[in-house]
Structure 1
Amino acid sequence: MLLYWFVAEVLLGLPLQVDAKAEAGQQAAQRKFLADLVKIALGLAAGIGAVIALVATYRKTRIEEYASHRDDHRLFSERYQNAAELLGHAKPAVRLAGVYAMARLADDWDEQQQQCIDVLCAYLRLPANENDPGDGEVRDTVIRLVAAHLQPDAEPSWQGRKFDFTDVTFDHGANFSWAVFSGQTYFGNAKFAGPADFRGAKFAGNAHFRDAKFAGYAYFLRAEFAGPADFRDAKFAGDAHFPDAEFAGYAHFAGAKFAGDAHFPDAEFARDAHFAGAKFAGYARFKGVKFAGPADFPDAEFARPADFPGAKFAYAYFQRAEFAGNAHFQRAEFAGDADFRGVKFAGDSDFLGAKFTGPADFPGAEFAGDAHFPGAKFAGDAHFQRAEFAGNAHFPDAEFAGPADFPDALFAGPAQFKSAKFARRADFAGAEFARRADFAGAEFARRADFGGAEFAGRYARMWVTVTSGGSLDLSEVKLGRERTSEDTEQPARRSVVSLRHATLADPASIAASVAEAANGCVLILPGGTRAPDPMPNT
């Protein structure tokens, strides 16, 4: 007994008691402890048994599920094979049944839904059988089923899948209005023989329309492009409608040809918009468009009027673009670079109230019609060097906050800068004014350089105001030779250059420099003094 309690003390940490009362208590505690151990052991045994049973049940379930999946897969495989065989049948009615069978299989077989869709798209890519009048109905049914499964409330839905319509010919057009293309979408080199309706369509992935051909109208009104939209070298034989369209990714229209009118009013381009080399044979309407990224129109051709009134440009690049019709940019806003270098305006160009926050570059631009810039605001540099104005050049009330550069510019028609404000340098050195030049009310806060300019018109009204700190340079000006065109000159005639109401900081120096260069023509100085050849006041 003493040995038992010694072992208990060592193993259980029980104190060694040898008296009878303590021994009885210790025996009771020991019995309770042993009973608890038995309960724990029985519980563990039951738990292990339950785990074993659970494992066995799970294994049985998995075996049954595998068998069921195997049976389902075999069943779906059989349905797929049967549908594919129907699609390859010679009779259009049988092929039509195959289309519906493949569509139902796509609805039921989510695991292989993409494969079923690929088969339907592949059928459309097959050459159409012109000798089979029923083939068109089969193809139209495929298009209709695809469009129906891409509607926002479609159930079951095919959204999120890839659709490859590359090289597909849509003989009767296609109606994908309000369709949701969540995956990659390919319409490259597709041919739409009838109207192509994508009104309200949403493209979550890349939208590929490169080299696509639209024989009829193309409707993309309120379409949303979350990824890149590729319309490079696309051909629109009918009108192309993109009003209120949203391009969140890159928009590529480089080399696109618009034979009809191109409508983009109120469209929004969040990234780069590329129209390099695009050809607009009809009206080009971009009223109220927002270009948050660069708007690239270099070498673009506009055969008819181009409308950009109220458009907002982060950056505008129109280098070497050709406007055969009138170009309307009234109240357009250019936040960054506005590059019109080498642009040819064959018709009238209207920039009434336009705002140029960044540099405005028009060097070498050709204005064959009237150029209207009334009330335009140039916050940055304005470059018009070597620009040619064949018609009227209207800059009344224009504001130049940065340098205004017109050196060597040619004004073949009347030039009007009435009430224009020049806050920085105004450079008209070497400019040619073949007709009337009107600077009445113009204000020059800094240097106004007309050195070497030629006033060949009948009358030049220089009623300018040169504020303190500014200066007016009319040295070496050429007067008295009227030019009717760039290559034809009439005999010299007496011209009038009037500074009558000019407000000058140093009128004496101006009078001397101009009088020396007047060459017998009439010069009316501030206050009405005439030099050197008296003539009636003008």
Structure 2
Amino acid sequence: MARRRWWPHRWRQTSGRYAPDLWPVWIVAALAVIVVCVAGVVAYGLVRRLTEPTETLGVSDGIRLSITILTVLGAVLAGVYAYRKQRIAEGDARRADASQLAERYSTAAGQLGHETPAVRLAGVYAMARLADDWVEQRQVCVDVLCAYLRMPYEWNPDAHEYKKGEREVRQTIIQVIRDHLHEPLEQPSWSTCALDFTRATFDGGDFTGCLFRGSVSFADADFVGDLISFDEAGFLDGAVTFRGARFGAGAVTFNDARFQGGSVCFDEARFSGSALSFRGALLGPGDITFHHASLNGGTLTLDEARFAGGTVGFDHAQFADATVTLHRARLEDGALAFRRARFTGGTLSFDHARFTGGGLAFDDVEFTGGTLSFYAARFDGGSVTFDYGQFTDSTVTFHHGRFDAGAVSLGHARFSGGTVSFVRAQLNGGRVAFDDAQFSGANVRWGRLRPPGGGAG
């Protein structure tokens, strides 16, 4: 809810509305009386200074003074009465406001449902302007724009259901929303509004540098298209980008979303206490990148996600006391990379995950004081590399892990302090390599695996 400002914006009439925003009568009356009394005291003091100290007021002077006071009070009461009439008229104006705003809403909604793309574009701008003017129902107007994006949409120009001009309308909606999420703003901010894109189809969109304070849902959404070139509207086909965006404490949800050709970019994004979830998402062959992003506190959930191609990259990302979980995730193809990422505290968990192909890379990663867990994970193919990684006072555990195929490499990794555990891990055919790995002061629990000096394999 927007904070109500009293001075000087209290006197300013809201753009596009008829009713003036006036103070209550009792406040005006009290202020008027106080001002008159203060002015009378000041005037009396000035007169006393200009006259002789021994001079006294006569009867006639007292009568004149009383009449003057009564006259002033009468003028004050007349002014309060006039203000009261204005307040009554204000009620009529507010009713006119409600009628006008409702009419604008109906008109804009009707335009959004029109068959002609040009009329729908006019409806987009009309609804956006109404959201700026109608603060009390801003969320409703934003919901209408988001609902338009949730409507069934055929993005392939070769398909029979494809509608010419529809992509321009949808990209305009995204652009309007983006423009209202930037700071500093020349227009009202929508950053506190909830954005619901559930089951929407995205074949491009630009949220670069936006500020999100409310919740954002892309649950069950489809990200489609090919990374070919920039179209006339300035959007990269198939790419939805949040580059440099800032996310507050609101939830950002991609649960059960499908990335099938389209890509999502979070490069240089900042997450402060956010809850970012990709639970059950199908990742691939599109790409998701978090290069140079930072997650301070909060959670990133990819539980039960399926990696079927493409790349999910966290290269150079920074995690501070964050919780990242990939419980029961499946890496079948593509790449999941944390190259040169930095973890300070927090937890990165692959519990019960299954690796049947593709590659998981922690090359040159820096892990300080946190926990990296592969509890009960299964390695049936693909590769997992920790080459040249640095783990300081951290816990790295493969408890109950099964290495049936594929390769896990800790080549040249350095473990200083902390714990490394392979308790109850099973090596049934896969390969675990420790080429030139260094363990300095770390509590290493090998379980059934042989230490590097014994030729672990």
- TM-score w.r.t. length of structure 2: 0.72
Structure 1 match to 2:275: 228
Q: 5 Å matches for 1:300-319?
A: 300-302=353-355, 303-308=357-362, 309-313=364-368, 314-319=370-375
**Correspondent of 1:243 among 273, 281, 291:** 291
**Correspondent of 1:214 among 241, 251, 259:** 259
The structural deviation recorded for 1:221 is: 0.6
CA distance in 2, matches of 1:158, 1:370: 51
CA gap of 1:34–1:268, structure 2 versus 1, over 3 A, is farther
CA gap of 1:47–1:297, structure 2 versus 1, over 3 A, is farther
Structure 1 match to 2:350: 297
The structural deviation recorded for 1:232 is: 1.1
CA gap of 1:373–1:61, structure 2 versus 1, over 3 A, is farther
CA distance in 2, matches of 1:231, 1:147: 22
Alignment deviations for residues 422-473 of structure 1 (CA, whole Å, 9 cap, x no partner): xxxxxxxxxxxxx9xxxxxxxxxxxxxxxxxxxxxxxxxxxxxxxxxxxxxx
Structure 1 match to 2:334: 282
User: Secondary structure of the equivalent of 1:60?
Assistant: helix
Structure 2 match to 1:269: 319
The structural deviation recorded for 1:151 is: 2.9
CA distance in 2, matches of 1:40, 1:278: 89
User: Secondary structure of the equivalent of 2:104?
Assistant: helix
User: Secondary structure of the equivalent of 2:407?
Assistant: coil
Structure 1 portions without partners, runs of 5+: 1-28, 396-410, 416-434, 436-538
Q: 5 Å matches for 1:180-199?
A: 180-193=211-224, 194-199=238-243
The structural deviation recorded for 1:180 is: 1.9
- TM-score w.r.t. length of structure 1: 0.62
Structure 2 match to 1:113: 138
Structure 2 match to 1:177: 208
Please say if residues 267 and 289 of structure 1, whose CA atoms lie closer than 8 Å, have aligned partners that are also in contact: yes
Alignment deviations for residues 205-247 of structure 1 (CA, whole Å, 9 cap, x no partner): 2211111112222211111222211111122212221112222
**Correspondent of 2:410 among 350, 359, 379:** 350
User: Secondary structure of the equivalent of 1:103?
Assistant: helix
The structural deviation recorded for 1:144 is: 2.6
CA distance in 2, matches of 1:335, 1:35: 95
Please say if residues 171 and 204 of structure 2, whose CA atoms lie closer than 8 Å, have aligned partners that are also in contact: no
Please say if residues 196 and 214 of structure 1, whose CA atoms lie closer than 8 Å, have aligned partners that are also in contact: no
Please say if residues 316 and 334 of structure 1, whose CA atoms lie closer than 8 Å, have aligned partners that are also in contact: no
Structure 2 match to 1:371: 433
CA gap of 1:234–1:154, structure 2 versus 1, over 3 A, is farther
Please say if residues 107 and 113 of structure 1, whose CA atoms lie closer than 8 Å, have aligned partners that are also in contact: yes
User: Secondary structure of the equivalent of 1:111?
Assistant: helix
Please say if residues 257 and 278 of structure 1, whose CA atoms lie closer than 8 Å, have aligned partners that are also in contact: yes
Structure 2 portions without partners, runs of 5+: 1-53, 155-160, 225-237
Structure 2 match to 1:159: 191
Aligned partner of 1:243: which letter? H
CA gap of 1:341–1:164, structure 2 versus 1, over 3 A, is same
Please say if residues 288 and 312 of structure 1, whose CA atoms lie closer than 8 Å, have aligned partners that are also in contact: no
Please say if residues 205 and 240 of structure 2, whose CA atoms lie closer than 8 Å, have aligned partners that are also in contact: yes
CA gap of 1:337–1:348, structure 2 versus 1, over 3 A, is closer
Overall identity of the aligned pairs, in %: 35
Relative contact order higher in (CA < 8 Å, ≥ 6 apart): 2
CA distance in 2, matches of 1:386, 1:41: 105
Please say if residues 315 and 334 of structure 1, whose CA atoms lie closer than 8 Å, have aligned partners that are also in contact: no
Does residue 60 (structure 1) correspond to residue 85 (structure 2)? The answer is yes
CA gap of 1:38–1:228, structure 2 versus 1, over 3 A, is farther
The structural deviation recorded for 1:30 is: 13
**Correspondent of 1:361 among 411, 414, 421:** 421
Aligned partner of 1:376: which letter? Q
Aligned partner of 2:145: which letter? L
CA distance in 1, matches of 2:438, 2:122: 66
Structure 1 match to 2:43: none
CA distance in 2, matches of 1:77, 1:175: 31
Alignment deviations for residues 257-296 of structure 1 (CA, whole Å, 9 cap, x no partner): 2322221122223321111122332222112323331111
Structure 1 match to 2:176: 145
Alignment deviations for residues 22-76 of structure 1 (CA, whole Å, 9 cap, x no partner): xxxxxxx998597786577456534533441342243233234433333333222
CA distance in 2, matches of 1:365, 1:33: 109
Q: How many residues align?
A: 366
Please say if residues 350 and 372 of structure 1, whose CA atoms lie closer than 8 Å, have aligned partners that are also in contact: yes
Please say if residues 279 and 304 of structure 2, whose CA atoms lie closer than 8 Å, have aligned partners that are also in contact: yes
Structure 1 match to 2:38: none
Runs of 4+ with deviation above 4 angstroms = 29-44
CA distance in 1, matches of 2:325, 2:432: 28
CA gap of 1:72–1:373, structure 2 versus 1, over 3 A, is same
Please say if residues 219 and 240 of structure 1, whose CA atoms lie closer than 8 Å, have aligned partners that are also in contact: yes
The structural deviation recorded for 1:311 is: 2.6
The structural deviation recorded for 1:329 is: 4.5
Structure 2 match to 1:475: none
User: Secondary structure of the equivalent of 2:255?
Assistant: coil
Please say if residues 351 and 376 of structure 1, whose CA atoms lie closer than 8 Å, have aligned partners that are also in contact: no
